[in-house]
Amino acid sequence: MNDGTPVRSKRNVELGASGEEFQNLHEFVRKARSRLNQNAWDYIAGAAETETTMRRNRMSLDEIAFRPRVLRNVVNVDASVEAFGRKMRLPVVLAPVGALEIFDPNSAAAAARGAGRFGASHMLSSVSEPGLEKTAKAAPDALRFYQLYVRGDDAFVEDAVSRAISNGYAAFCLTVDTAHYSRRERDIAKRYVRESRIRATGGDFQKGLDWRTVKLIKDKFKIPLVIKGIATAEDAQVALDHGVDWIYVSNHGGRQLDHGRGAMHVLPEIVNAVAGRAKIMVDGSFCRGTDIVKAIASGADLVGIGRLQCWALAAAGEEGIVRMLELLEDEVIRCLGLLGVTGFGELDRSYLHQATATNLPSVFSAFPLLDIEPYRY
């Protein structure tokens, strides 16, 4: 059963003085760049068309400043939360990313195992290897969710939900922002098409997806339902009307609709609309501990990590996933302590302040020490 992830004990080694290979998060990105070919690199570093939505994701995070409180006892800071009846060491889900096999041969199995070893959660994409059953077998004790791209009829959907339940997944997720596959201009410029895209079938089912399928799942199954790709208060309200358990605020990392809003521009609107009637996940360029703190203070319950997951996986496989989460935890704990709180339960929007971003947003702007030579298309 999916209910027994052990929480790994924390290390007490000052960063910079330990023997760990990775001591800053940008080091995963640098290592990944050295290992990935240009097609794999563009898949995770790029976005749709002008890549405006992706940059707005980062900008919406950088426009939030902190309002710290001082002279409070923060000797013991705990970054853990409770979700799905489990204690999680961080409020983090490794977001569903397709084709993880291009980053590591063990693919989603390595990511799920790493999340489980650390004490975070993992959401498996239906278009990542090794698939639903094998990932569950590889990480039986991890807190796992399953995400589906609808590529078939009602029977296709019902089969996927049934298999997810049978294999111990704690929630089922429908992605709803991919009615049409976007223009990924980095790939088009190289005249490159992934083999999995060539083999893909059933696209018209995703184009025809509507709220009827949401009702079908809620009526027939008891598993918590997540809807990924909500970007307006109006759709959040419709989701609530259908009994959706988790609203997943996401713009696909800026890889679908171009010129969309940044995720953290959208999140407050969704939090206000939901008003505690459902739980909320969010993703979109979250790659620092401070990003996680900003999201939770803004009303999210879990934060999705996408690109950083892929870079860590490419850099060092399963061990890279564990170490990446350890570094995120270190950043989170230091941030919470410097804000004057000992846990996420003490946070609210009063700790945040709208400010002007100091850096031009980019996929790498969270890592000022990173210097990646641009590719000439």
Q: How many CA atoms lie within 13 A of 197 on its CB side?
A: 10
76: left (phi over 0), alpha (psi -120 to 50) or beta: beta
Cα separation, 305 vs 283, in Å, equals 7
DSSP 264-285: HHHHHHHHHHHTTSSEEEE-SS
Cα separation, 150 vs 179, in Å, equals 10
Q: Residue 118 to residues 160, 217, 255, 268: CA-CA distances in angstroms? A: 27, 31, 28, 29
Tell me which residues are annotated as active site: 252
Cα separation, 360 vs 237, in Å, equals 34
Q: Residue 196 to residues 99, 100, 149: CA-CA distances in angstroms? A: 8, 12, 14
Q: What share of the chain is helix, strand, coil (3-state, %, to 5)?
A: 45, 15, 45
Whether 256 and 337 have beta carbons less than 8 Å apart is answered as no
Cα separation, 171 vs 86, in Å, equals 13
Quote the distance between the C-alpha of residue 240 and its chain's center: 22
Query: Which of 375, 13, 330, 21 has the alpha carbon at shortest distance from 185?
Result: 375
